[in-house]
Amino acid sequence: MFTKSADLYDAIYAFKDYAKEAELLHDRIRRHKRSPGSRLLDVACGTGGHIPFLSRQYQVEGIDLDPAMIAAARQRHPGVPFHEGDMLCFGLGRRFDVVTCLFSSIGYAKTTENLVKAVRNVAGHLEPGGVLIVEPWLTPEAYTPGRVYAIFVDQPELKIARMNISEMRGGLSVFDFHYLVARPSGIEHFVERHELGLFSHEEYLAAFEAAGLEVTHDPRGLTDRGLYIGVRPTAT
């Protein structure tokens, strides 16, 4: 995934308003959560952009598959527990009141079978009455192959051009990100491939239901990609 570009991640995504997203997320949590606690696990947390804002209301931990991202998160947010693990199979041995998976990271599950596994696994880390919030990737109907994209970073000692053309192969959206990076030490070029599964609305709902969650869909969400919100039933 971001194996080659982890140290560039925050500069590339500096446009994200993490404070606003965390505020919107807190609003959804208050509407749906029925457990009494405030422990939150951010799955696929990346460098932890949401962490300082979510920490105002929750006892936050993060987990990510990429060791370079976890290293960056630990450096940026000392004192916050971060774990290295795969959303399909990690096991922390304890439960949380909120589990989040944001910025379309669920797309890295790639297949519907893995989508079901991932949702079931993270749902297993919920307290009764706890809430799982997933920000989805695009559906097959919303994805358009052949589009050209570019992001540019212009800092005094860091220049980045990241370009790609959207592709589709089978049920995957495929991005070969071409990076041109300039620092005082020199200029480098590298390519990084990202593949995300294109899941339908019905497949997301089915995955949440298979995990035993009461699921609702927020079509707008944090960034107009929507949210899938699942609540673990309380014991009767």
In a domain, 114, yes or no: yes
Q: Is residue 236 part of a domain?
A: no
Total tally of structural domains belonging to the chain: 2
Task: Please indicate, yes or no, whether residues 203 and 186 belong to a single structural domain of this protein.
Answer: no
Q: Hey, what are 144's tokens?
A: 């358009």
Residue 170 is assigned to a structural domain of this protein:
yes
Query: Same domain for 160 and 46?
Result: no
pTM beyond 0.85:
yes
Beta carbons of 202 and 211 less than 8 angstroms apart: no
Residue-by-residue pLDDT tens, the chain, 236 positions: 788 999 999 999 999 999 999 999 999 999 999 999 999 999 999 999 999 999 999 999 999 999 999 999 999 999 999 999 999 999 999 999 999 999 999 999 999 999 999 999 999 999 999 999 999 999 999 999 999 999 999 999 999 999 999 999 999 999 999 999 999 999 999 999 999 999 999 999 999 999 999 999 999 999 999 999 999 999 74
Q: Which of 18, 24, 87 is nearest to 218 (CA)?
A: 24
Q: Residue 73: give the domain boundaries.
A: 6-139+199-231
Residues 160 and 210 both lie in one domain = no
| CATH (domain of 183) | 2.20.130.10
Residues 115 and 10 in one domain: yes
